Amino acid sequence: MKALRTPKFWFAFYTYAVMAILIYMPIVILITFSFNDSTIMSLPWSGFTTKWYAKILARPDLLKSLWNSLWVALIVTAVSLVLGVLAANAMARYRYKGRIFFTGYISIPFVMPWLILGIALLVFFTRVGIQLSLFTVILAHISFDVPLVAVLVASRLHQFDPNLEAAARDLGCGPLEAFRLVTFPIIAPAIIAAGILAFNWSFDAFVVTHFVIGQQVTFPIWVWSALRFPKNLPIINAVSSIIVVVEMGLIFLAEWIRRRGAGGEEESILF
Amino acid sequence: MPESTPGLEVRNLTKRFGNIVAVNDVSFEIASGEFFSLLGPSGSGKTTMLRMIGGLETPDAGDIFLEGKKITFLPPEKRDVNIVFQNYALFPHLNVYDNVAFGPRRRKWPEDKIRREVTALLEMVHLSGYEEKYPRQLSGGEKQRVALIRALILKPKLLLLDEPLGALDLKIRQALQLELANIQYEVGITFIYVTHDQSEALTMADRIAVMNKGRILQVGTPKEIYEHPVNRFVANFIGNTNLFEGVVKEIAGQDVKVDVPGLMELWGIASENHVAQLRIGQRIAVSVRPEKMRLSRVKPQKPGYNLVQGVVDDLIYLGVSTEFLVRLPNDQVVRVFAQNISREDELWSITWDEPVWVYWRPERSLVLADEAPT
């Protein structure tokens, strides 16, 4: 091990330490205090309890918001996958005029502040005369999830050798069978991973949702409004802990699937 | 070789991509069991040609016949033709066994027959025990052999190989060249082998078609193509050659006297087809292969030979032979190969900056057309 203690090792070590503290500490604190038997989120420790978790079930407004977020995210994910895969196909396989505008659209959620996007969508919906509701939330989420899916799937399709499909045809597949037996299995991991991330983006979306939701409530909106009452804090901690764990699990799953699908040839940015 | 129905006949095939004519009115025939090579630089249309025969591209004009049956517009899965792709195109999500079994499964072969055939073919290419490996675990040469047997297992009437050894390093390439030629001999399937490597084509093919800019310039055995190239491009592309640019002075039968300005007058021969088109005063090129020329310190007493004096610019000792680069009075540098037969040879002591005579027999110089004579 001694040989590893070079400046490079220490640089990596500090980087890792900073990352761990900045990113994981708040989560650890959040989860820790969700088991604290006190409404105030501070030391000293008042004793271990799971009652905040039990109280989640006693809050119909919270459960309703979770339910709303869930089905909104599911619809958004399904629609975004279909549109996003088609868009990815166009991006990765064809050259056409106006490609630059398309690329511009695809990059919106990655470069445009959510606030601006939210305002733009709000103006759009009110101008066109669409009543603000969970429906407009779905439309808004689709608008930024399609590019997410497109980017993830396109990067996979880009590495896809078109000769693989040709080889499948050559060995006796019709066009649909070639897609089913060769193209799809190879890009499926990217599609699944994109679906999981798209679900998370929609489920977590607060800023954009806040502008276009009207009188309805999704989970992030519920958290925002519940924060005004300090007695809600432990319940928020508890439910947030559950969400953090589930979402992190999903993200790691997505990355694992994506990497496995790439046959170990694709570098991961996560782990 | 059976002369009745050709294994493959291509008639007036044309393919355009936008404004580019990738394949321009190409016709040729291949006998069953032949090892045929399409040879040309990149962009010459040879891969497009191959993809049309395989059914991956649709021709704009012309027809393709496989054993007399028209297959021009048949989709790839309906043709008795298989392809070995340039970058192997092995399915990354399937292991070696499933890759090779892919074709047979589409044809609904019984699984025990598939197992027998796959095992036998893996053994043939020395890959027994590789069944469970995935393509990413294989070396380039191993991938190549899997791609080959994946295409061979269906016993197609015709196997198309698109630069199959292009990505491999020299040693493996040379080993696989021999292996491929042996396999072709064993299985007796007609091979069309696309390559840009002239030595590969010369080594392996029964016949070669030289392509450039979408056209076939010459079809012939390696010997014919090397010894009797029909035009300047073929002469230059296949092996090394020395080209003399000049003007036709005199035509006597197939013998042509050519004036190379500022250098010499030399005699060469033109092919029967070509000589009919030659006119006095026409600009042409004369090709002389480096190994057909000879060197001498003293002026050789060889009446009728083409003869010119130059200075040794450089010489490269290659063991078997020595390559001399001789600068002629018009500043043109010609290449001359000399076998290192004896140490007492007068060539042995020739060195840099020495004046030497270069001479060769008139029939060793070929008068070439710019385009293939029709």
Q: Is B373 among the domain residues?
A: no
Is the Cβ pair B55, A170 closer than 8 Å? yes
Domain boundary among B207, B232, B257: B232
Please give the pLDDT value at position B63: 94
Q: Scanning every residue of chain B, which has its alpha carbon at the shortest distance from the alpha carbon of A187?
A: B93
Given a cut of 60, whether residue B372 has pLDDT beyond it is no
Tell whether B134 is within 8 A of chain A (Cβ).
yes
Q: Is B267 left (phi over 0), alpha (psi -120 to 50) or beta?
A: beta
pLDDT at B100: 96
Q: Which residues of B82-98 are buried (b: 16+ CB within 10 A; e: fewer)?
A: bbbbbbbbbbbbbbbbb
Residue B114 touches partner A, C-beta closer than 8 Å: no
Q: What is the pLDDT of residues A39-87, one digit of tens each?
A: 776 677 777 777 788 888 888 888 888 898 999 999 999 999 999 988 8
Same domain, B91 and B209: yes
Interface of A with B (CB under 8 A): 161, 163-164, 166-174, 177, 182, 185-186, 263-265
Task: Please say whether the beta carbons of B225 and B234 come within 8 A.
Answer: yes
In a domain, B132, yes or no: yes
Query: Percent of chain B, pLDDT > 90?
Result: 63
pLDDT score recorded for residue B181: 87
Whether residue B373 has pLDDT greater than 60: no
Contacts of B86 in chain A (CB under 8 A): 163
CB contact under 8 A, A170 and B54: yes
pLDDT, averaged across chain B? 90
Residues B180 and B242 in one domain: no
Percentage of chain A beyond pLDDT 90 is 16
Q: What is the CATH number of the domain that holds B323?
A: 2.40.50.140
Q: Find the CATH number of the domain harbouring B192.
A: 3.40.50.300
pLDDT at A260: 67
Name the closest residue on chain A to residue B102, using Cα atoms: A171
**Are the beta carbons of A210 and A267 closer than 8 angstroms?**
no
- Residue B89 CA from chain centroid, whole number: 24
Same domain flag for B215 and B238: no
Put simply, whether B124 touches A (Cβ < 8 Å) is no
Is B295 a member of any domain? no
Most B CBs within 10 A among A96, A171, A184, hence the mutation to make, goes to A171
- Classify residue B3: in a domain, yes or no: no
Query: Higher confidence at residue A120 or residue A271?
Result: A120
Given CB atoms, is B54 within the 8 Å cutoff of chain A?
yes
Region of poorest pLDDT, from A250-264, B52-66, B118-132: A250-264
H or E stretch at A242: helix A233-261
Helix (H) or strand (E) holding B255: strand B255-260
pLDDT of residue B187: 86
Asked whether A77 and A198 are in contact (CB, 8 A), the reply is yes
Query: Among B232, B249, B269, which residue terminates a domain?
Result: B232
Read off the pLDDT of each residue in A140-144 and give the average, rounded to a whole number. Answer: 90
Q: Report how far apart, in Å, the C-alpha atoms of B91 and of each of A145, A153, A181, B134 are.
A: 30, 19, 10, 9
Taking every pair of Cα atoms in chain B, the longest distance, rounded to a whole number of angstroms, is 77
Asked if residue B162 and residue B265 are part of one domain, the reply reads: no
Q: What is the dihedral of CA A33, A37, A40, A45, to 10 degrees?
A: -70
Cβ pairs bridging A and B (under 8 Å):
64
CB contact under 8 A, B82 and A171: yes
In this structure, is residue B326 part of a structural domain?
Answer: yes
Closest CA to A39 of A256, A238, A210: A238
pLDDT at A3: 57
Instruction: Name the pLDDT band for A17 (thresholds 50, 70, 90).
Output: confident
- Helix axes A60-93 and A184-204, enclosed angle (nearest 10): 140
Q: What is the DSSP letter of B87?
A: T
Taken in order A23, A25, A31, A37, is the CA torsion positive or negative? negative
Q: Do A167 and B54 touch (CB under 8 A)?
A: no
Residues B226 and B239 in one domain: no
Q: Does residue A158 have a pLDDT over 90?
A: no
Which of B53, B81, B83 to probe by mutation at the A interface, max A CB count within 10 Å? B83
The token pair at B141 is: 């040469």
pLDDT tens digits, residue range A88-114?
888 877 777 777 777 778 888 888 888
Q: Which residue has the tokens 């048949």?
A: B74
Confirm whether B354 is domain-assigned: yes
Domain residue spans of chain A:
59-261
* Contact between A186 and B75 using a beta-carbon 8 Å cutoff: no
- Does B5 have pLDDT greater than 80? no
* Residues B189, B283 within the same domain: no
B245 and B360 in a single domain? The answer is: yes
Within this chain, do residues B228 and B245 fall inside the same structural domain, yes or no? no
Positive or negative torsion for Cα B22, B28, B33, B35: negative
User: Would an 8 Å CB–CB cutoff place B107 in contact with chain A?
Assistant: yes
pLDDT in tens, B272-301: 888 888 889 898 899 999 999 999 988 988
Helical H segments across A94-205, by residue range: 99-111, 114-128, 134-159, 162-170, 175-178, 184-204
Contact A168 B75 (CB under 8 A): no
Q: What is the pLDDT of residue B174?
A: 85
ipTM of predicted assembly, 2 dp: 0.81
Q: B92 and A177 in contact by Cβ < 8 A?
A: no
Give yes or no for residue B2 having a pLDDT over 60: no
Phi, psi of A41 (to 5 degrees): -90, 70
pLDDT tens digits, B127-179: 999 999 999 999 988 999 999 999 999 999 999 999 988 878 888 888 888 88
Do B270 and B320 have their domain in common? yes
Find the residue in B nearest to A265 (Cα): B136
Query: Which of B211, B232, B253 is the last residue in one of the domains?
Result: B232
Which pLDDT tens digit goes with each residue over A188-198?
888 888 898 89
Residue B2 lies in a domain: no
Distance CA B146, CA B137 (A): 12
In whole angstroms, give the CA distance from residue A207 to residue B191.
Answer: 64
Please count the structural domains in chain B. 2
pLDDT tens, position by position, A245-260: 888 888 888 778 767 6
Q: Give a yes or no: residue B298 inside a domain.
A: no
Q: Domain range for residue B100?
A: 8-232
CATH 3.40.920.10 matches A59-261: no
Tokens of B150: 């994946």
Q: What is the mean pLDDT of chain A?
A: 83
